[in-house]
Each structure stands twice: as C-alpha cells, then as structure tokens.
C-alpha cells in the first residue's frame, strides 16, 4: 500500500495521540535529536563535507522520512554506511557531483517503491549484508586513525592497504595531546551508559572534550581550525552549479545506483528491526518512496545521502516513540539546535569526532554475527568472507555483486544436489534387498514394478526436485541408463515443482533420442504449471496428449495396455 503511516494513523487511529502518547513521542524525538546531533556532524566530516551538511541531512531527510514513510518509528539521517561512498564521489566529482548522484538515487528509490520492489530485501542473503556492513565498519574505522592520533600527514591515500602503509610510516608523529583527548572521549562514550542511559555518552564526551581543549587551550585541531566558521542557516542550492548533461548523468549512474541500493537495503532492514521491537508491520514500498523523496530534498538543500538509521530508530522505540511524530520532532529539534548553537561547533576537537566514529564503526561491525557465520556452513562462510574482503579492498558495489554471484553459485549447487533422477526399478530392488524392512509399510507405485513389468520393457524414472539448468545435463544422463530392451519410458513429475528452458531443452532431446530408439515416452504426474509449460513449448505435442497420465499407477497401466495391444498387433 502506497500510503504514509502518519496519514493512516491520523485518519483511522486518532486515539493513538491520546493517553499521553503524543507527549511520549515528543520526548522520544528530543532524545533522538540529542543522539543524532554529534553523529550527524561526525559523519559529515568523515564523508569529506563540512559539518553543517550532516545536520541539514538529519533535518530535511529525517523530516520527510517520518512525514511520508511506511514505518511508524523510522528515524532518517546520515549513516556510517554512506561515508566511504560519499567520500569517493566527492573526491572524483566534487560536491556538485554528489548532489546530482543523490538526486538520481532518490528518483531510483521512488521508482523502486512504485514498482513494488520493497520485498527485494528477502533476496539478499544474510551473509552478504553482514559481510558488507562489517567491511564498511573496518573501512570507516581506518579513515579515523589520522585525526584520532593527530598524525602529521599531508594527504591520506584512498586505498585501504595504501592507507595503512602510510599510517605506519608516520606513527612516530603521533600528537600526544590529540591522542589523550581522543582516548578520554572514547572512555566517556563507553562508560557513560553505566551512569545514565537517557543522555547519550557521545554528547557528554563531546562537551567534556570541547571544554577541556578550550579552557586549557590545548594545541589540538578543532572543527574551526580545519573548516573555519560553520554556518547555521541553509537554503536551496544554486542549480546553475549542477551539470545535468547526459555525460555527467552517465558517469554518475553507477554511484547513484550504489546510493539507491544501499539506502533501500539499510532503510528496509531498519524498518524490519523496528517492526520486531513494536510488534507492527511497515509498508516497504511506501518507505522506499519516502526515502527517495527524502534524499532528493536533502540534496536540494545541500545535504548528503540519507537512509533509515537503525541505532537512532531503536533509541526512538526505547524512549517511547510509537508514531512518526517522534521523527518529525527529532528533525525540528536539530533545526533549533543548529540555529542557536552551531557557531559553538567550531570548538569541537577533531579527535573527539574521530572517537565517536570509531564507536560507530564498532557498533556497525556486527562482529558477533560475523563470528557466528564463521561457524556456519562452508558456503555461508565463503559468501561472508568474499563480500567482506571485496568491500574492504575494492568497493561496495563490486563486493555485493561478487557476493551475490558466489551466493547464487552455492544456491544452484544445493538445488542441483536436491534434484534426483531415480529408476523406480532401482527403488524396488532396494526395498526387496532390505530384509529388515516391513513390506506392509510400502504402499506406492514401486509395488507395481514386479518382475513381470521389469521384464516387459517398461522403465520408470521418478524425478525429485526442481528441473532447472543446473541439473539439465544430469537429466540427459537418463538416456545412458536405459536398458536395451526398454520399449516404454515413463517419466514421473509428481514431485517436480517447476521447470525452466534448459530442462525443457533436455526433455526435447530425451524425446528425440527415445524416438530414434523406438521407445515410447509417457509423462506422469504433471502439475498444472508444468502441464502449461510443456504445452506452450510444444513438448506435449511431441509426446502426445494421450501419453500424459495423472500419476505413475495410471502411466504403468497405460504402458501395459500399450504393450498388450502391440503384442496382439505383432501376432496378427
């Protein structure tokens, strides 16, 4: 349903705003805004843009995600998953390129929602999402080493290995005051929840570290010393600065798709997590449309890409938020703080921002899930590690693409192993050979395969599982197993759920080779879908409608009658 949750709540459930819930939503929104404030600034800096752009994103995108979204409690804004992508786009195409890419991504997400792609999340294997999330966390962590240690470096290499080689070469330039402030910030963030869980530790750490550096006049780099004065207002971008040419659109198509894909996956994952916390169900397609609108709006005001933030959404729920009002209040609160206190942001130490991002990278690493998957099946472990290392060493799109290919390979292998082609003559022989088996327990077509039938030239093959390209060649091996005295070949499809073009081609070849050997082919147990496919592809015409039976018993009876008639005809 393409209808915002807020509209449904207002129209059909007005009583949800009674009994104190409206007050709870307002309080939850204010608390989440306090949590989002330092995170938004830190994520903007890590992405290679000025601090206020993170706040603009939280304000504009967060507002539209709550206003139009399909989730009751989703909180939108900048997230750690986008840092590396945004940084790469800015380095190559500049801020104007990022704006165009974000607009294109927003349009793509709206299209995803209108085309009802909201359920696509279930087709992304869990090892892939864990792999790329953990990979992004490692990459994000690696980008904060320079600021956290105060290393003297002119430029930080973009590649992961080159970056760490550069770090190790200049670790002797570590600035002790910077490292000390960073460690203090880190300790406060980690330990503060044991004192008070309502006020976020990142905010307390930010205030303490800023006061410490300012009052003691410590020689530590701050936001102000790097970026200068930070504006506390924003307006629509100058469209003349954006290159809307076909060439620019072509160059930014891949980055735009990356933003759209990642924003869609992360927002829907966040919505699913929120559903589990409040016992509700989000509207995935409406959520995608809202995320698309939010990203377009954010970029038009100079913001960066946004998505549903799992940690902030969870904080909203834990503090009593149950309607989109909390998300709207969160945006308005950040706007108020920006207008009043933004000039003070220039005093914040860069190492404190780095410490906050190190904690973010730890929280998004999902190391427990990562560790659990390493103990899972070999295929899951392979998918996880391939996606993880591709994300760290190359880029997210490449990693997801390779991860999906590996996942599909293992899936096809499992599917092909689950499909079997067994001669019912062999099954019958196995039953007879089992001296301990209670023959009264077997009531199946195998019982019809007595010596008379076995010796009469009838062969029955029972197919178990889907017939698709992964088993097409194995399907053809049936012809190599057919006895020389076989006169009728019965193929039982009773346990075949579906069939594809490759299997149809193999089936055509089996029919052709059977005719060459003067073997009659009978189909048994075709379900409605399979019957339609063999009819539309011309296979049914080659076999003959009279040679299609509802089950194996009927097929064997037809085969017996056919052999009897042929025997009578031969005697005449």
Q: How confident is the model at residue 557 (pLDDT cuts 50, 70, 90)?
A: confident
- Taking residues 512-534, what's their average pLDDT? 92
**C-alpha distances in angstroms, 439 versus 82, 430, 434, 452?**
64, 12, 9, 19
User: Higher pLDDT residue, 427 or 215?
Assistant: 215
Instruction: Identify the pLDDT of residue 424.
Output: 66
Instruction: Identify the pLDDT of residue 522.
Output: 94
**Interval 167-198: pLDDT, tens:** 999 999 999 999 999 999 999 999 999 998 87
- Measured between alpha carbons, how far is 143 from 151 in angstroms, rounded to an integer? 12
Cβ atoms 221, 178 nearer than 8 A: yes
pTM exceeds 0.85, yes or no: no
Q: How confident is the model at residue 15 (pLDDT cuts 50, 70, 90)?
A: low
Instruction: Identify the pLDDT of residue 456.
Output: 66
Instruction: Identify the pLDDT of residue 367.
Output: 86
Instruction: Identify the pLDDT of residue 81.
Output: 86
Cβ atoms 310, 13 nearer than 8 A: no
- Measured between alpha carbons, how far is 322 from 131 in angstroms, rounded to an integer? 31
Helix (H) or strand (E) holding 162: helix 160-169
User: Higher pLDDT residue, 197 or 203?
Assistant: 203
- Taking residues 120-141, what's their average pLDDT? 85
**Interval 465-514: pLDDT, tens:** 998 888 888 888 887 888 888 899 999 999 999 899 999 999 999 999 99
Count of CA atoms in the C-beta half-sphere (13 A) of 109: 35
- Measured between alpha carbons, how far is 314 from 277 in angstroms, rounded to an integer? 8
Dihedral pair phi/psi, residue 450, rounded to 5°: -80, 180
Helix (H) or strand (E) holding 462: strand 458-464
**Which residue's structure tokens are 């330990």?**
191
- Taking residues 520-531, what's their average pLDDT? 93
Instruction: Identify the pLDDT of residue 427.
Output: 43
Of the given ranges (59-63, 267-271, 421-425), which has the lowest mean pLDDT? 421-425
Instruction: Identify the pLDDT of residue 22.
Output: 87
**Interval 424-454: pLDDT, tens:** 654 444 433 444 444 444 444 445 444 445 5
Cβ atoms 351, 44 nearer than 8 A: no
Q: Which domains does the chain have, with CATH numbers?
A: 22-411 (no CATH), 420-571 (3.30.750.24)
Instruction: Identify the pLDDT of residue 434.
Output: 45
Cβ atoms 208, 42 nearer than 8 A: no
């Amino acid at each position: 349903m393409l209808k915002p949750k807020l509209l449904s709540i207002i129209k059909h459930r007005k009583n949800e705003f009674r009994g104190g819930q409206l007050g709870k939503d307002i309080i939850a929104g204010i608390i989440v805004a306090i949590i989002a404030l330092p995170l938004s600034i830190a994520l903007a800096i890590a992405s290679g843009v000025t601090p206020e752009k993170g706040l603009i994103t939280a304000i504009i995108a967060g507002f539209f995600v709550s206003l139009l979204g399909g989730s009751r409690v989703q909180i939108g804004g900048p997230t750690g998953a986008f840092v590396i992508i945004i940084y790469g786009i800015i380095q190559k195409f500049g801020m104007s390129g990022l704006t165009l890419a974000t607009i294109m991504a927003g349009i793509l997400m709206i299209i995803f929602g209108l085309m009802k792609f909201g359920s696509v999340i279930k087709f992304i294997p869990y090892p892939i999402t864990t792999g790329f999330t953990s990979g992004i966390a490692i990459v994000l962590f690696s980008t904060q080493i320079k600021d956290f240690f105060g290393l003297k470096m002119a430029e930080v290499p973009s590649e992961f290995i080159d970056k760490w080689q550069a770090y190790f070469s200049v670790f002797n330039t570590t600035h002790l005051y910077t490292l000390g402030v960073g460690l203090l910030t880190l300790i406060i963030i980690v330990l503060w929840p044991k004192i008070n869980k309502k006020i976020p530790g990142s905010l307390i750490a930010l205030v303490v570290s800023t006061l410490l550096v300012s009052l003691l006049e410590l020689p530590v780099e701050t936001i102000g010393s790097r970026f200068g004065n930070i504006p506390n207002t924003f307006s629509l971008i100058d469209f003349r600065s954006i290159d809307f040419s076909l060439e620019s659109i072509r160059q930014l198509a891949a980055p735009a798709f990356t933003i759209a894909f990642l924003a869609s996956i992360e927002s829907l994952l966040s919505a699913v997590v929120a559903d589990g916390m409040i016992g509700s169900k989000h509207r995935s397609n409406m959520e995608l449309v809202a995320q698309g609108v939010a990203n377009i709006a954010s970029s038009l005001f100079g913001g960066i890409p946004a998505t549903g933030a799992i940690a902030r959404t969870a904080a909203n729920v834990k503090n009593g938020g149950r309607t989109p009002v909390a998300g709207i209040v969160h945006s308005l609160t950040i706007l108020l703080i920006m207008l009043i206190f933004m000039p003070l942001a220039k005093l914040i130490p860069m190492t404190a921002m780095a410490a906050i991002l190190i904690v973010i990278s730890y929280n998004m690493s999902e190391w427990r899930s990562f560790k659990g998957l390493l103990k899972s099946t070999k295929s899951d472990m392979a998918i996880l590690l391939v996606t993880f290392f591709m994300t760290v060493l190359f880029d997210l799109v490449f990693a997801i693409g390779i991860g999906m290919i590996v996942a599909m390979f293992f899936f096809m292998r499992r599917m092909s192993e689950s499909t079997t082609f067994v001669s019912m003559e062999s099954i019958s022989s196995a039953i007879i050979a089992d001296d301990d088996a209670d023959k009264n327990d077997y009531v199946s077509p195998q019982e019809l395969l007595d010596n008379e039938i076995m010796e009469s030239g009838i062969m029955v093959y029972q197919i178990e599982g889907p017939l698709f390209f992964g088993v097409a060649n194995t399907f053809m091996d049936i012809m190599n197993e057919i006895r020389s005295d076989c006169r009728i070949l019965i193929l039982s499809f009773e346990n075949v759920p579906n069939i594809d073009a490759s299997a149809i081609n193999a089936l055509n070849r089996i029919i052709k080779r059977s005719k060459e050997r003067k073997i009659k082919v009978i189909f048994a147990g075709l379900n409605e879908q399979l019957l339609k496919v063999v009819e539309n592809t011309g296979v049914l015409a080659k076999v003959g409608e009279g040679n299609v039976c509802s089950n194996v018993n009927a097929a064997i009876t037809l085969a017996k009658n056919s052999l009897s008639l042929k025997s009578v005809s031969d005697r005449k």
